[in-house]
Amino acid sequence: MTRFNENRDNGIKTKFFVKNGRVMVHVTASTRVGNSNDYILPADDMDSWYSLYFYLDYFYNSTADKFILKADSSAPDYIKDLLDKKTYKLEDFYDPIKRQPVQEHNFILEDNKAMENKLKTLGLVTWNEAYTPEDIANNSKLISDTLDIIDNDLLDKQQKLNPKHERKLDKNSYGYASDNEARMLIDLGVAFTMNHIMGKITDAKLMELSTGVDNTAIK
């Protein structure tokens, strides 16, 4: 994952590759003293266990030898309540033995699906659709253009109230966001994460095609 755990020793890391014609994700984590764990999971099942929201991430607990889901302080109350009541592990969302998503009480899958439907209405191609490198590039442009519109609106508001303010985003700029703009900024963050994963999956496919390491057709 690429959010708030990015530089922490026990946060998970992901690497994509093709095996027997299928894109897989190698999920790893380790501690400073060398304890570690890993999974190799189908990339097309990521929506069942990998939250697209920045406030959720997994950390490796060496005592339990499990990847534990944790939320940062910005998480919605319902997420904090769920995690206060139960310790959630990656296996609560994806069964690595049966090699299938866990459907019951899977709030990661539910939230990802809901956001995916919302992103489609914004004109984005999502990770559970057939997509091309061009789709990924178009997604990136749409995300960037929408963010620019919001940023310019925030700067207009900030400069109106503080005419001497240099027209440059700073730590106070996002305090001028309306409720709709604040929600859209979250949506854009989710869209960026999804599009980044789509890019990694596409890179893995292209690498397989260019090297011929795995000649099985990707399904």
pLDDT of residue 150: 96
Residue 36 lies in a domain: yes
Residue 217 lies in a domain: no
* pTM score, whole prediction: 0.87
Residue 5 lies in a domain: no
Question: What are the contacts of 189-193 at 24+ separation with CB within 8 A?
Answer: 189/53, 189/54, 190/52, 190/53, 190/54, 190/115, 190/119, 191/119, 191/122, 191/124, 191/139, 191/143, 192/143, 193/2, 193/3, 193/52, 193/54
- What range does the domain containing 47 cover? 13-211
Residue 156 lies in a domain: yes
Residue 1 lies in a domain: no
Residue-level pLDDT, tens digit, the chain, 219 residues: 434 343 456 889 999 999 999 999 999 998 888 788 999 999 999 999 999 999 999 999 999 999 999 999 999 999 999 999 999 999 999 999 999 999 999 999 999 999 999 999 999 999 999 999 999 999 999 999 999 999 999 999 988 888 877 788 888 888 999 999 999 999 999 999 999 999 999 999 999 887 765 543 333
Residue 177 lies in a domain: yes
Residue 34 lies in a domain: yes
pLDDT of residue 3: 42
| Number of domains observed in the structure of the chain | 1
